Amino acid sequence: MIKLKLKVRNLGISTGGPLVAALHKDDASVFDINPMDRIKIFFGRKVETVVADIASGSAEVKKGMIGLFQEVSDILGMKNGQNVSIMLARKPISLDYIKKKLDGSSLSKQEIDQVVWDIVHNKLSDTELAFFVAATYCNPNTVEETVWLTKAISEEGERLRVNSKIVLDKHSIGGIPGNRTTMVVVPIMAASGYTLPKTSSRAITSAAGTADTMEVIAKVDIPIPEMEKVIRKTGACIVWGGAINLAPADDKIINVEKTLRIDAESQLLASILAKKRSVSSSHVLIDIPIGKNAKVSTARKARSLKEKFEKIGKALGMKIGVMITDGSQPIGNGIGPALEARDVLKVLRHDPDRPLDLEKKCIAMSAALFSIVGVKDGARKATEILYSGKAYSKMKEIIALQGGNPEVTPESIRIAKLEYSFPAKKSGKIVEINNGDIAKLARIAGAPQNKSAGIYLYKHVGDHVRKGENIFTIYSDTDSKIEYAKQILKSMDGVISIR
């Protein structure tokens, strides 16, 4: 088959994933290559299939040239001016499977495996990947498809091998500001002798993710060998999952969901359990908070998710426990990485001003994990470990091995220098705190990018307030952000409801 010879031009631009090369329109017409067609690039013994982009009137890609985006340059090891040959290639077969799913049909294990392989190896363009995400959103996966998707996602990437018969893990569906249970539950369970390799996420739409908060006091961006070292010495770790190549297909899918603002249930199930499977978890606790402003708004929806988690977990060989919890208001007092880190340390140190709601939930979740592994009276055991200081000592070990200062105190954690306090407009009882509004205000103040920014709550639902008494304070390092937060606060209807 005839090949077209072209001279390489490295564009120095990254696509963020898909493999793309740009052709001049005159060269593209030789093989009738159109935008989004696939071409094969031959360089010595190296061959790579990429997506074609057509440059029209571009000074960067002249006739006789091929412009390589960064990902293609890295794979082929090309330098400017070197010669390559190209030819038209067929599109990935997974596009047929994506269309099949769009048409409402179920996919086989082999078809799902191929789609996930193409996602991981950047064979699909952003548009094609978006169609796959949309297909599973409009035509939800069956339980069987979700099991296959979970396996495929977890197997396409690195795996953390843990030398322990029981490997614990936990996950919250999310959507509740300040819900930093991981940083208390992990040291409680590790101090009990269990292994818990916790990979956590950064914030997407919230004011802080667990990784953002843990990063205030320790390094979370660590490779798997270093992660394994921490686990061997302490029994646990709390790291950022995005720093390691565990379930990379899931990260790409989540980025598309974030852009489209959709959250397919079957993808949610596969995403969570694939990450757990990739770190060898055998016993997993799922926290499903329900509330008007939470991700899951009804008990019926929560029960349905619970059943699916248990069914899929069983098919994967995992023992799954599910807690349906109160998600009607923020947990703890701090909203934002630094403020939440202060809360966590206060609970671990058993400080008098610790947030009791966060402590109570952490003990309940630890008790649930004990129950999953067959240990009775877990609440009493978790309370003893927490109150005795054993959990705090374990957390200090983890912090030290993850490159932090184990002697960090709540008071030593810097909070943003500018503040604005919001007073009660009348006396009465707080009946509602809007999770979405609180998270939005904290983000406007600068969280999570500015770890010192956020909100501190003085009151919770059920508390009584007097007119003029401060309900919360907004912290920021930027005058304009404080002013913008104040403006948005004025336009919000019911961020705090008092009767």
- pLDDT digits over 318-354, tens only? 999 999 999 999 999 999 999 999 999 999 999 999 9
**pLDDT of residue 450 exceeding 80:** yes
> In the chain, how long is the greatest CA-to-CA distance?
83
pLDDT score, position 336: 98
- ω into 406 cis (within 30 of 0): no
C-alpha 182/C-alpha 230 separation (Å) is 17
**pLDDT of residue 293 exceeding 90:** no
DSSP secondary structure string for all residues of 415-484: --SEEEEEEPSSSEEEEEE-HHHHHHHHHHTTTTTSTT-EEEES--TT-EE-TT-EEEEEEES-HHHHHH
Best CA proximity match to 317, nearest among 344, 351, 283: 283
C-alpha 429/C-alpha 111 separation (Å) is 56
Give 167's DSSP letter.
B
- pLDDT digits over 399-415, tens only? 999 999 999 999 999 99
C-alpha 22/C-alpha 124 separation (Å) is 16
Is residue 174 a contact partner of residue 291, using CB atoms and an 8 Å limit?
no
Question: What domain range includes position 370?
Answer: 168-243+261-401
Residues 270, 228 share a domain: yes
Domain end, chosen from 89, 116, 148, is at 89
Q: What percent of the chain has pLDDT over 90?
A: 81
Residues 186, 104 share a domain: no
Residues 382, 326 share a domain: yes
Looking at the DSSP assignment, which residues form a beta bridge with residue 240? Answer: 200
pLDDT score, position 477: 97
Q: What is the pTM of this model?
A: 0.88
C-alpha 98/C-alpha 149 separation (Å) is 13
- pLDDT digits over 253-267, tens only? 888 887 887 778 888
Total domains in the chain come to: 4
pLDDT score, position 58: 66
Q: Confirm whether 29 is domain-assigned.
A: yes
Residues 116, 13 share a domain: no
pLDDT score, position 1: 59
Residue numbers annotated as active site: 263
pLDDT score, position 474: 98
Is residue 435 a contact partner of residue 173, using CB atoms and an 8 Å limit?
no
Q: Find the CATH number of the domain harbouring 394.
A: 3.40.1030.10
**pLDDT of residue 56 exceeding 80:** no
> Mean pLDDT, the chain, as a whole number?
93
For 133-139, what is the mean pLDDT?
93
